A and B are shown apart, each in its own frame.
Chain A
Amino acid sequence: METLARLVTSSIGRKLLVAAVGFLLCGFLMTHLAGNMFLFVGEKAFNTYARVLESNPFLLPIELALLGVILLHAVVALYLNLTSLAARPVGYAMKRSRGGRTWGSATMVYTAVLIGVFLVIHVKTFKYGVRPSPEDLYGLVMSYLQDWRWALFYAVVMAGLGLHLSHGAWSATQTFGIDHPKYTPLIKGAGLAFAVVVAAVFTAIPIWACWFLGGAR
């Protein structure tokens, strides 16, 4: 029990929780991205994929577990950020970076908030939105993504997600103590590549829907 207590009550332990859950969420992102590829194949393929997914009896427990994982990531990270705010009650009149920070690391909180707001909107519109017909998730997705304002919103959020991952993926490995003079630069590169690929492919969907299928509205 003391080990568990040390994990949840220490700053390093809490970071480990955020990092571990972050890795799980990276796994979810890859699965989601793979599923979304059916959008490029066509209406029939995507709707079949959606039907198979929704008919899985384990979908609800998995969704609830995913919600739990997302909330754990967000709540523990928020708590850590609040303790850090308290750790410097009086700020600097002048503060300059020496180059350690990156755009990704400096904007983690902001991109996190952006992704959080997006998740609520995303689930509300696509999971609980009204479909043209009960089996036509493709039609619902296209009705939004072919509107250039929605497409732009998705593109901006995915850029934010990429920025978040550009620091988060490497940072999580460092938190797990993975460090090597030869392989750390490779891990950093792989984290950055993962961020770019995830953001680019997710962004390709609204761009493709909006400007290549039926034109932007």
Chain B
Amino acid sequence: MKVTLRVWRQTGPDGPGRLVSYEAEVPSTDMSFLELLDTVNEGLIAKGEDAIAFDHDCREGICGMCSQVIDGQPHGPDKAAATCQLHMRRFKDGDVITAEPFRAKAFPVVKDLVVDRSALDRVMTCGGFVSVNTGAAVDANAVLVPKDDAEKAMDAAACIGCGACVAACPNAAAMLFVGAKVSQFALLPQGAPERVRRVLSMRKAMDKEGFGHCSNEAECEAVCPKEVKISNIARLNREFIRALAVSDG
């Protein structure tokens, strides 16, 4: 099987970028898309050319490091899967596959398909945590958590922070990410002490990073590799309204 890869090549953050075509032989349809890029890179290196830069780490859909828009969809065409879980059996002989970096002002291109997603980390440092005193671990049953709340918090905590929601959003908004991070604590008693400060602070950081606004188009939910629901955006909105009402500031 042979495919044509159209890959976004960009020398650096300020360098001009363009789509470059590569003919690629696919030795096995069981190989992943990232393994195909590895194969193409081996050929490029052998020819003395610059290898295609792309992000990856665990290659098993857990770390959230891979970050490409493949054929117009973040993480490619498969539902509930990261780029690393996309396999070549998804394509046909002669297919033209387009790979681009995640596009957002808050995600500047570092090189080729690699973008800097530190903006999400900076939002996290503004409240995406709970403050606890160190010492002996408290008894697990000392603070009771309703089962349903625990399940919803766990679903929100499934977010791996890959940024596909931002890449898919027509407005480049980060509301699903921030919604998930606010939700996972808002649903639990451990998150209660910093509840108001957290949502106000993370919202402020989100806007400061230059993400767009949410227009409830649900493209984020559709591409999320961890199937995080837009219910978390509604909860973020509720948390924000509540914080406005109860905040002393």
Interface residues of A (CB under 8 A from B): 2-3, 6-7, 10-16, 80-81, 83-84, 86-102, 105-106, 108, 167, 170-171, 174-179, 181, 184
Cβ A93 vs Cβ B172 within 8 A: no
Counting residue pairs across A and B whose Cβ atoms lie within 8 Å, the total is 145
Known interface pairs A12-B237, A88-B172, A93-B98; A101-B219 also in contact (CB < 8 Å): yes
Most buried by B among A84, A171, A176: A84
**A10 and B236 alpha carbons, distance in the complex (Å):** 13
Cβ A84 vs Cβ B171 within 8 A: yes
Cβ A93 vs Cβ B100 within 8 A: yes
Interface string of B210-245 (1 = CB under 8 A from A): 111111111111110000001101111111110011
Cβ contacts under 8 Å, A171 to chain B: 215-216
In this complex, what residue of B is CB-closest to A104? B217
CB distance from A169 to the nearest CB of B (A): 11
Cβ B247 vs Cβ A3 within 8 A: yes
Cβ A84 vs Cβ B170 within 8 A: yes
Cβ B173 vs Cβ A84 within 8 A: yes
B71 at interface by CB-CB < 8 Å: yes
Q: What bracket does the count of chain B residues touching chain A fall in?
A: 35 or more
Most buried by B among A88, A91, A101, A108: A88
Q: Which of A2, A108, A179, A184 contacts B235 (CB 8 A)?
A: A179
Cβ contacts under 8 Å, B215 to chain A: 80, 84, 105, 108, 171
B92 at interface by CB-CB < 8 Å: no
B106 at interface by CB-CB < 8 Å: yes
**A89 and B172 alpha carbons, distance in the complex (Å):** 10
**A95 and B169 alpha carbons, distance in the complex (Å):** 11
Most buried by B among A90, A95, A98, A102: A98
Cβ contacts under 8 Å, A174 to chain B: 216, 230, 233-234, 237
Cβ B203 vs Cβ A87 within 8 A: no
Q: What are the nearest 8 A-B pairs in CB distance?
A: A177-B238, A179-B234, A84-B212, A96-B72, A87-B212, A100-B218, A84-B171, A98-B222
B65 at interface by CB-CB < 8 Å: no
Known interface pairs A92-B100, A94-B71; A16-B213 also in contact (CB < 8 Å): no
* Main SS at interface, chain B: mixed
**A178 and B215 alpha carbons, distance in the complex (Å):** 15
**A3 and B241 alpha carbons, distance in the complex (Å):** 10
Cβ contacts under 8 Å, B203 to chain A: 10-12
Could you list 5 examples of A-B contacts with CB < 8 Å? A87-B105, A88-B212, A94-B100, A105-B216, A108-B215
Cβ B235 vs Cβ A177 within 8 A: yes
Known contacts A3-B244, A100-B168, A181-B231, then 8 further A-B pairs from the complex at CB < 8 Å, ordered by chain A residue: A6-B247, A11-B213, A11-B214, A86-B210, A100-B220, A175-B214, A177-B238, A179-B235
B73 at interface by CB-CB < 8 Å: yes
B88 at interface by CB-CB < 8 Å: no
B204 at interface by CB-CB < 8 Å: yes
B200 at interface by CB-CB < 8 Å: yes
CB distance from B146 to the nearest CB of A (A): 15
CB distance from A83 to the nearest CB of B (A): 6
Q: Which of B105, B171, B212, B216 contacts A175 (CB 8 A)?
A: B216
Cβ A98 vs Cβ B213 within 8 A: no
CB distance from B185 to the nearest CB of A (A): 16
In this complex, what residue of A is CB-closest to B242? A177
CB distance from B211 to the nearest CB of A (A): 6
Cβ A84 vs Cβ B230 within 8 A: no
**A13 and B245 alpha carbons, distance in the complex (Å):** 12
Cβ A89 vs Cβ B237 within 8 A: no
Cβ contacts under 8 Å, B235 to chain A: 177, 179
Cβ A91 vs Cβ B218 within 8 A: no
Cβ contacts under 8 Å, A181 to chain B: 231
Cβ contacts under 8 Å, A178 to chain B: 234
